[in-house]
Amino acid sequence: MTCPICRKPTDPTWRPFCSRRCADVDLGRWLTGSYVLPDPPAENDDPAAEDRPRPAS
Ligand SMILES: [Zn+2]
């Protein structure tokens, strides 16, 4: 097994990484990915919404 960050042999202490440094790198990527989210699609821009029949009240 090799470190997914730098491809060095994995250290059992830090697996699947080779060192704490690479573990921190992966953690940083994970945190960044969770905090920086792409803008959600605006529902108001959905053209299909205009075609939905509305119940007459
Ligand atoms: Zn590594």
The predicted-structure confidence for 25-40, as pLDDT tens digits, reads as follows 999 988 877 655 566 6
- Torsion angle, CA of 34/36/38/29, rounded to 10 degrees? -60
Q: What is the 28 CA–ligand 1 centroid distance (Å)?
A: 14
The amino acid sitting at 10 is T
CB atoms within 10 A of CB 3: 21
Q: What is the 6 CA–ligand 1 centroid distance (Å)?
A: 4
| pTM of the predicted model as reported, rounded to 2 decimal places | 0.53
Q: Provide the H-helix boundaries in 1-57.
A: 20-35
Domains and CATH numbers, the chain: 1-33 (3.30.50.10)
Helix (H, G, I), strand (E, B) or coil at 7: coil
Q: What is the 9 CA–ligand 1 centroid distance (Å)?
A: 8
| DSSP code for 43 | G
Q: What is the 12 CA–ligand 1 centroid distance (Å)?
A: 12
Structure confidence at residue 13 as a pLDDT band (50, 70, 90) = very high
Q: What is the 1 CA–ligand 1 centroid distance (Å)?
A: 11
